[in-house]
């Protein structure tokens, strides 16, 4: 299961905020000149502000559904993506090595950072104590 999937209920305010932000991003896809984009962004904000005082949730739900449909129909055929976002040109470019790699350093490499490795060993012992307190001692079974 993906870690970025929303769970639970999403409030009405969050739905409107999300729709508004996605609408603005869609406008950015279509208009690359800043002054043209700003003109359409102001018009978009006006459309949202016209409906901000509606209290009937049935009408509000219908408006959000119409907005989602319109956004889908008017989306750009090649939307922009931030470089480090999924789908961007630099996504996943920098690999962050897992923490256990440091355990396999040569002793001469570790000697260059004595304070760090002393604290690391202390924290590993603390982690093991917390683990054993929560889950009990590990039992080794020989088959």
> What is the DSSP code (8-state) at residue 78?
S
- Indicate the pLDDT class of residue 2, thresholds 50, 70 and 90: low
Tell me the three state secondary structure of residue 68: helix
Does the pLDDT value for residue 127 go beyond 60? yes
Percent residues over pLDDT 70 in the chain: 93
Q: In the numeric block, which tokens belong to residue 66?
A: 């119409």
Residues 45-93 have pLDDT tens digits of 999 999 988 888 999 999 999 999 999 999 999 999 999 999 899 998 9
Does the pLDDT value for residue 138 go beyond 80? no
Instruction: Identify the sign of the CA torsion 121, 123, 124, 130.
Output: positive
The C-alpha angle 40, 83, 74, rounded to 5 degrees, equals 35
Domain segments of the chain as ranges: 12-73, 99-135
Does the pLDDT value for residue 139 go beyond 90? no
């Amino acid at each position: 299961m993906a870690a970025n999937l929303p769970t639970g209920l999403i409030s009405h305010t969050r739905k409107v905020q999300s729709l508004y932000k996605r609408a603005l991003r869609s406008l950015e896809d279509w208009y690359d000149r800043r002054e043209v984009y700003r003109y359409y962004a102001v018009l978009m904000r006006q459309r949202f502000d016209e409906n901000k005082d509606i209290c009937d949730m049935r009408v509000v739900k219908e408006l959000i559904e119409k907005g989602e449909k319109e956004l889908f129909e008017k989306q750009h055929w090649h939307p922009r993506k931030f470089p480090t976002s999924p789908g961007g040109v630099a996504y996943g470019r920098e690999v962050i090595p897992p923490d256990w790699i440091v355990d396999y350093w040569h002793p001469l490499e570790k000697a260059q950072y004595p304070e760090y490795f002393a604290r690391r060993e202390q924290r590993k012992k603390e982690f093991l104590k917390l683990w054993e307190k929560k889950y009990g001692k590990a039992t080794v079974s020989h088959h």
